[in-house]
Structure 1
Amino acid sequence: GRVREWMGVSTDITAHQRLEDELRASEERFRLTFEQAAVGIAHVGFDGRWLLVNPKLCDIVGYAQEELLVQTLHAVLMPDDLSTAFTDAQRLITGEQQTYARELRFRRKDGVLVWVNLTVTLVRNQAGWPLYFLAIAEDVTARKQAEQQRQLNQLKDQFILHMNHELRTPLTSLLGSLDLLRMQQGRLDAASQAQFLETAISSCGELLQLVNSVLDALTITEQMIPPQGEEIAVASLVRDVLEHLDPGEEQVDRLSLDIPDRLTVWANEQLLRQVLRNLLSNAFKYCPKPAPVVVSAAPIDRDEREAHFAPSVCISVQDAGPGIPPEELPLLFQQFTRLKRDLSGQAGGSGLGLYISK
């Protein structure tokens, strides 16, 4: 019953212990990186559910972690951005791309919109099977606001530059005509008086049109009530717009209509009239005489893939003007934008007509 001797076997586990220590250290580094990162980090399931979120992401969207984990990525994305995000996710799953980065908008819990630079990649296992999406969200709202402010400042400078020229021209003509009438009162014949009055009235019309363009542009930036539509005969409306153009622009003999008399559209008459007036005014302003200005309209043919869209009509205004340089085409519909050649030319304008039309 007495123990005479004992035997033991020892195994060197230094390497194994070192691996475990390194693994724990690596996990701790990941945890600290994940929790203290200056950007939002998340694991997202294929159904859009948040699987894992870090504190910074919670801070960006304004939700507590437990609140966010019962929601989906789709719930915080703006509806306009959903289709883009869905398409990009499909491309990651099919392997068409490895990662994507886009600037999208999140809606915080308090309703405030935040801009984020969202970078997403698909995490796969060693066999290549997809596991989840890894999403990194950087709050770029401050940069976006700075860009918007810079654009506003540029628009303000452009506005002052354009208005300085566009207001001075008719004002100078108006004041000059009225001053001559005052100084030459009683010494001018009826024809001369009528000419000076006509010049003054025309200058007032230019000023009124300029002010109306500015007011229209400002109205577009506000929340607009959807316009009421009605059935409109296109050819009749074009002729009516032409009759009400300024006398210097009304040139019926140059206008060629290629519009079926029975062609009608469903639109808001006031807005469509404004668009046509801007397009026709530009055409007569820049098209050299006696070249014609052609207004055409026809239904748009759609293939089977577009059959579910409502029928549409294409209305076009074609002229033989100098055209638009390709490098300036992207600026065409921006506020207070005029072509470089026009800034020093004789043709005036506020740079708002096409912006309002669009």
Structure 2
Amino acid sequence: MKELYNQLFQKHKTEDNTSLTYMDSLQRDIAIGSWEVNLQTDTVIWSAMTKTIHEVEQDYQPNVKEGVNFFLEGYNRDLISLLFARAVNDQQSYDREFQLKTAKNNIKWVRIVAYPVIEDNKTKKVIGVLQDITEKNNTLNELKLKEELIRTTFEHAPNGMALVSLSGEIITLNKTFCDYLGYTTEELIGCKINKLSHPGDIDIIPANIKNLIDGVSDKFECEKRYIKKDGSYINCILSISILRNENNQPIHFISHLIDITERKVAHKEVETLLTTTKSQNEKLLNFAHIVSHNLRSHSGNLEMLLDIMKTDLPECTENEFFPLIEEAVNNLSETISNLNEVSIINSKESKDLKAVNLLKTTHTALANFKASIIATDAKINISIDSNIYVLVIPAYLDSILFNLISNSIKYKRPDATPVINISAQQTTDFIKITVSDNGLGIDLDLHKNKIFGLYKTFHKHQEARGLGLYITKNQVEAMNGKINVSSKPNEGTTFTIHLKHEAH
């Protein structure tokens, strides 16, 4: 802009048309306007570009007061008034940035450079140039805002962050990084970051760093331990990325740490608990098998002895106590058999699952109840696509359907013909099997938490043992499925079972 000032001074010496034309052209090309205030004639002259910046018509004739009033009221207007007064009275030049409001009410940033023209030690004129710097200032303000945003994000990030030189020294870091390791900012700046590594993890970084510098990768992530100031260590997820300049040359690394020490401790505790639980379950299962086997032997001996008595010593059975003893032994044998069945359910593994046709299995289950269906005049509705296959332990699926159909017939309402609906539909993850009836129903407000309990019964029936639903639930869950129930007294019950299909 210095050359333009010199041209302005030359203009005031020549004031010829050629000079004026040249100045207007120059100002238009570089988007800088000129102005002058003649203190002797009290006139103000604006160049064409100055008027364009102020968004006034080209025939606009300004004066000093109007010119000052274009500046935003307050700081900007007060400052331009003060600087102009100093130029006039103290013969001081100025170069400052201001905000003004144009004739069209647009806010602009302008840079004004002004010089007093002095003759006989008196200020004759004040001349200057005016440049529209709105775009530049807006860009700078946006850049400052982004820088502030980045700085705030960096400083207040919940995880540790550090800017690291290519040679490994920490340039700057945030508070969280310091808190992780127990150092102050001053203690860590300039420190080689690899010196903070656990000795067993030092070799993790170098090969990956070379790939970053060579452009093979933009970032890498690993699990790494760091030594704290107190000598303990933390487990971290370390993520390192690289910053490059406009020439794509690497300049800095950004290290990002996430402290996973608590997660690692919790994971280890869970692993220990799972190991302990697995061991205990295996011991309990072995204990159940041993007890079941031994009890079955003893109960079998009792049954055999009773049979011998009935055959060889019939006179010993002709009393009121023998039938009671026989019933007690039979009940004991049944209980042992049931408990043995429960104990082996969860010993089956997912590898035992097989794909079976659900419709075919359902018809097979119903075949067991032909006599009961005829006797009760039960109506059976089946809505299962013949192409639906479920991933199950076949014996478990047979048992599940048997128990649910048996309950629907067993607990029918005496005043209604039994209606049993069996349906299935395939979803993304499961085969949804529904078995519903119009029987006695269950009061879930009373029994919701007991419905699948062991030896829990909800109706008086001579065959009720409280074992079927318990076994059913365990069998469903052993096949990675789930079972739910909805029911209302005297309206019926619906069991919904979700089992995996072949795709899963």
TM-score (norm: length of structure 1): 0.43
Greater Rg by CA: 2
- Which structure's relative contact order is higher, taking Cα pairs within 8 Å and 6+ residues apart? 1
The structure carrying a bigger strand percent of its residues is 2
